[in-house]
Amino acid sequence: MRVIFVGPPGAGKGTQAARLLERLGTPHISTGDMFRAAVKAGTPLGQEAERYMKLGQLVPDAVTIGLVRERIAQPDCAGGFLLDGFPRTTPQAEALEAALQADGVAIDAVAVLDVPDDLIVERITGRRTDPETGRIYHLRFDPPPADVAGRVVQRKDDTEEACRTRLALYHEQTAPLVPFYGDSGRMKRVDGVGTPDEVTARLLATLGL
Ligand code: AMP
């Protein structure tokens, strides 16, 4: 199955993707995670991406599209994939459609996680990651245990200022993907407000998994 997760930053795309992987049995492709890995490794791609990421801006389409094209051409994606954080612009969606069409395949479902802006800001600014395990916590909603609390870190783009930039970009550039996919009947809107378990249950039901 080829699935796309669309939603504002902090909608729970990464959290829900990790929960659905077992059912889907496909690779999880997060462009944000790929860029963060490239930044950490100090590759030329990472150096370019970091300039945009730390400001909460989008990495240019040409760079992002090339990265995803290469990734979905890998053998482990032959049976499907879960794309999280891509496409984020109409040119990215068009490039993805063209690449898949050339391979004679198509996206089966686009899950749109709806979360209101005020809740997004609260979720993002409280988000912290344990650098040792990669586990994501929230200072209020899911606080780290005492032995982990001392080492959690905040993503550079999770400050309130960068968060507001990312939200504005979402409304301006990513929200138009909803009509883009909506016309083809593959789009499923899912309420992203609630506990992670509640949202997972809604996603499983909506995707028929
Ligand atoms: P995420 O982890 O999905 O919130 O992505 C973190 C950051 O990586 C974004 O704010 C962008 O700077 C960059 N990024 C991730 N995916 C994309 C994309 N599809 N297009 C452009 N930039 C992206």
Mutate to test the pocket of ligand 1, among 88, 123, 124, 172 (most ligand atoms within 8 A of CB): 88
Q: Using a 6 Å cutoff on CB, does residue 64 contact ligand 1?
A: yes
**Does residue 194 sit in helix, strand or coil?**
coil
Mutate to test the pocket of ligand 1, among 5, 6, 31, 83 (most ligand atoms within 8 A of CB): 31
Q: What is the pLDDT of residues 119-145, one digit of tens each?
A: 999 999 999 999 999 998 999 999 999
Per CATH, which fold does 2-26+79-207 belong to? Rossmann fold (3.40.50)
Torsion angles phi and psi, residue 63, rounded to 5: -65, -50
Output the pTM of the full model: 0.90
Domain assignments of the chain as residue spans, ordered by start: 2-26+79-207
Distance 126 CA to ligand 1 centre (A): 19
- Residue 34 and residue 74: Cα distance in Å, rounded? 15
Q: What is the pLDDT of residues 72-121, one digit of tens each?
A: 999 999 999 999 999 999 999 999 999 999 999 999 999 999 999 999 99
Q: What is the pLDDT of residues 15-58, one digit of tens each?
A: 899 999 988 999 999 999 999 999 999 999 999 999 999 988 99
Q: What is the pLDDT of residues 138-154, one digit of tens each?
A: 999 999 999 999 999 99
pLDDT at residue 42 in the model: 97
Structural contact between residues 181 and 190, judged by C-beta atoms closer than 8 angstroms: no
CA distances from 126 to 38, 49, 140, 150 (A): 25, 24, 7, 15
- Residue 170 and residue 119: Cα distance in Å, rounded? 15
Distance 144 CA to ligand 1 centre (A): 25
- Residue 28 and residue 34: Cα distance in Å, rounded? 11
* Atom of ligand 1 lying closest to residue 87 CA: 19
Q: Nearest-CA neighbor of 112 among 3, 5, 11? A: 5
Q: What is the pLDDT of residues 73-84, one digit of tens each?
A: 999 999 999 999
Q: Token digits for 5?
A: 């997760």
DSSP state of 170: I
DSSP string over 55-96:
TTPPPPHHHHHHHHHHHHTSGGGTT-EEEES---SHHHHHHH
**Does residue 17 sit in helix, strand or coil?**
helix
Distance 53 CA to ligand 1 centre (A): 7
Crossing angle (nearest 10°) for helices 196-207 and 13-24: 50
User: Which residues participate in catalysis according to the annotation?
Assistant: 13, 88, 127, 155, 166
* Atom of ligand 1 lying closest to residue 56 CA: 10
Q: Using a 6 Å cutoff on CB, does residue 167 contact ligand 1?
A: no
pLDDT at residue 183 in the model: 65
